[in-house]
Structure 1
Amino acid sequence: MRHAIYVPLFGALADPHAITDIAQAAEESGWDGLFVWDHVLSPISGEWDIADPWVVLAAAATVTSRIKLGPMVTPLPRRRVIKLARETVTLDHLSRGRLIVGLGTGSDAGREYSAFGDVADPRQRGRALDEGAEVLAALWAGETVTHRGLLVAEEVHILPRPVQQPRIPLWFGTERTSGRPIERAARYDGIFPLEIDAAGVARIVERIETVRGSSGAFDIAVVARPGVDLEALSRAGATWAMHAFWPGHTPEQVLRVIDRGTPD
C-alpha cells in the first residue's frame, strides 16, 4: 500500500506557500503522493479562504521530483473539458509524468452548481461525467473529437500529448460500492471510494475483476483517518491510503503527521 497526504485547500491550507512546504516535506519523508480538494465554494459551513487546486499543484510540482500529485476529486460536470485537458497536460509535463486526475460528479451542497446556473441534477451530472471522461481521454490520446453532446461542438484535438501514456491515470470518486460508479471506474485506472470498510473494498474488487477480467494495474485509494484499519483495507485490495485532513487543520498539524513517516 502506498501512502499520500490528502488536504483541503481551505483556511490556513489555502496558502500556496504552505502547500509547497508540505509537498517538499512529504517527498523528503518518504510519502508517495499529495492530493488536494477541488472546490470553488465551501461545501461545509463557515466562511473559508479557498485556493485553486491547479495553481497549487503546479507550485508543488516545481518543488518535488518523485511524489504523485493530483486533485481528488475534480467535479468534471462543472468544468469545461477543453480547459481541463489543457490544464492536465500542462501539469503532467511540468511534473514530468506524476499527475493522477481524480474525477467525480461533485455535489451541490455548497451551491457549486446552482449558484452559477449549472445543472445540479445528479443523473444529468452522471451522464456529463461519463461523456466528459471519454472526451478527456480521447483528447489526451491525440484523437479528433467531434460532436459529443454539449461538451464539444466542433472537431477538436490538442497537442502536446501527456507525458504519461496511454493516458494520465484517471480515478473516480464515489460513495458507492456497486452499480454504475464502479463500472465507470473499471473502464479507467482507479477508484476513490469514500468512507468505506474492508468488506466494501472487497465488493469493489470483485466487481472490478468482473468488468476488467482482473484487478491488475487498477488502484483503489481509501481515506485514512484515525482508527481506520489500514491492514484490513490493504488485504481487501486497497492500494493507496489517503491520510486525510479537514478544513480547520493547520499546516503545522499536517507537517507533524508527515514527519512521523508513513505507517509500516
Structure 2
Amino acid sequence: MFYGIYTPNFGAETTPSLLAELAAEAEEAGWDGFFIWDHIVYSRKQLLPLYDPWVTLAGIAMRTERLRFGTTVTPIARRRPWKLARETVTLNHLSRGRLTLGVGLGDPDEDDYGTFGEPIDRKVRAAMLDEGLEILDGLWSGKPFGYKGDYYQMKKCAFLPAPIQTPRIPIWVGGIWPHKRPFRRAARWDGALPINSGGPYTPPPDTLREIRAYIAQHRQSEAPFDLVIMGTTPGDDPKAARKKMAGYAGTGLTWWLETLYRWRNSIEAMRRRVRQGPPRLDM
C-alpha cells in the first residue's frame, strides 16, 4: 500500500511555497505521494486565498525526487482538454514521470462553475468529462489525433512529447458512492477515488469491498488499478493508526491519503503530522 498527503491549495498561509516545503518534508518522512485540490473559486462567501494547482505542482516537482503528486480532482469540464494535455505532459516531464491526474465533475456547482456562466448541470459535465478524457488520451499518444464530440471538437494534430509513462499518465476518477456511473467510468481508466459532495470521504472497509467488486465487473483491462481513499490517522499513536489501517486489509485499497486541512490545523500541526510519517502496517 502507498501513503500520501492530501491538502487544499487554499486558505490562510497555504501558499505554493509552503506546500512545496510540506511535500519535501513528506518525501523525507517516508510518504509516497502529495495531492492537492483543483478549484477556481471554492466559495464566493469565504474570501480565501487560492492558488493555481498546476503552478503549485510545478514547485512541488522541483522540490522532490521520488514523491508521486497530482490533483484530486480536476474538473475537466471547466478546462480546455488540449491545454490540460500540455500542462500535464509538461509536469510529467518536469518530474520525470511522477504525475497522477485525478478527475471528476467538480464541486461546488454554483461557485466553481455558475460564477463564470459555465454549465452547472451534472449530466452535461459528466458528458464533457468523458469527452475530455478521450481527448487527453488521444493527445497523450503523440500520434495524429482529431475529435468531434457534442462539446469538444478539434482538427487532427499531434502533441509531442508524449508522457514518460506508458500507456499514459495515470488517471484516477472520483465519484460519489453508491452512484454507479462514476465507477463504471473509473473502470475504464487507472483508479477510483470515492469522494463525497463538499469534502473528503472515508468509506468503511465493507463499502470499499463493494466498490472494488463493482469495478471488477466492469473492468476490461488486466492492468494495475488503484483504489484510493482519504482519511486521518493519529500520528502520535502509531499503534492506533496501524489498527485503523489493518481494517482495510483485503479490501483492494492501494492508496491512503492522509487529509490535512489548514482551517482545522495550524501550520505547525500540519508539519508535525507530516513529519510523524505514514501509518504503515509494516512499521
Residue of structure 1 in register with 2:121 after alignment: 121
- Aligned partner of 1:237 among 248, 252, 270: 252
Q: How far apart in 2 are the matches of 1:163 and 1:47?
A: 39
Task: Note the C-alpha offset of 1:231.
Answer: 2.2
Q: How far apart in 1 are the matches of 2:87 and 2:193?
A: 21
Q: How far apart in 1 are the matches of 2:118 and 2:131?
A: 16
One-letter amino acid of the structure 2 residue matched with residue 239 of structure 1: T
Runs (4+) off by over 6 Å: none
Residue of structure 2 in register with 1:57 after alignment: 57
One-letter amino acid of the structure 1 residue matched with residue 260 of structure 2: F
Residue of structure 2 in register with 1:71 after alignment: 71
Q: Are the aligned partners of 2:14 and 2:262 in contact in 1 as well (CA < 8 Å)?
A: no
Q: How far apart in 1 are the matches of 2:208 and 2:45?
A: 30
Provide, for residues 179-220 of structure 1, a one-character-per-residue CA deviation record: whole Å limited to 9, x for no partner: 211110000000111222212211111112112257761001
Q: How far apart in 2 are the matches of 1:225 and 1:43?
A: 24
> Residues 153, 141 of structure 1: CA spacing in aligned structure 2 closer, same or farther, 3 A cutoff?
closer
**TM-score for the superposition, normalised by structure 1:** 0.94
Q: How far apart in 2 are the matches of 1:12 and 1:252?
A: 13
Percent identity between the two aligned chains: 38
Residue of structure 1 in register with 2:177 after alignment: 176
Deviates more, 1:243-252 or 1:180-189: 243-252
> Residues 166, 13 of structure 1: CA spacing in aligned structure 2 closer, same or farther, 3 A cutoff?
farther
**TM-score for the superposition, normalised by structure 2:** 0.88
Instruction: Structure 2: state its 5+ residue gaps.
Output: 196-200, 235-240
Q: How far apart in 2 are the matches of 1:156 and 1:247?
A: 43
The equivalences for 1:1-264 within 5 A come to: 1-43=1-43, 46-109=46-109, 111-143=111-143, 144-194=145-195, 195=201, 196-212=203-219, 217-226=224-233, 229-248=244-263, 249-264=265-280
- Report the secondary structure of 1:153's partner residue: strand
Instruction: Structure 1: state its 5+ residue gaps.
Output: none
- Report the secondary structure of 1:160's partner residue: coil
One-letter amino acid of the structure 1 residue matched with residue 253 of structure 2: A
Q: Report how many residues are paired.
A: 264
> Residues 53, 13 of structure 1: CA spacing in aligned structure 2 closer, same or farther, 3 A cutoff?
farther
Provide, for residues 88-120 of structure 1, a one-character-per-residue CA deviation record: whole Å limited to 9, x for no partner: 000000000000000001123452111111111
- Report the secondary structure of 1:127's partner residue: helix
Q: How far apart in 1 are the matches of 2:37 and 2:109?
A: 15
> Residues 23, 177 of structure 1: CA spacing in aligned structure 2 closer, same or farther, 3 A cutoff?
same
Q: Are the aligned partners of 1:22 and 1:251 in contact in 2 as well (CA < 8 Å)?
A: no
Q: How far apart in 1 are the matches of 2:220 and 2:248?
A: 21
Q: How far apart in 2 are the matches of 1:191 and 1:62?
A: 27
Coordinate RMSD, CA, aligned: 1.9
Task: Note the C-alpha offset of 1:145.
Answer: 2.0
Q: Are the aligned partners of 2:99 and 2:170 in contact in 1 as well (CA < 8 Å)?
A: yes
Q: Are the aligned partners of 2:12 and 2:48 in contact in 1 as well (CA < 8 Å)?
A: no
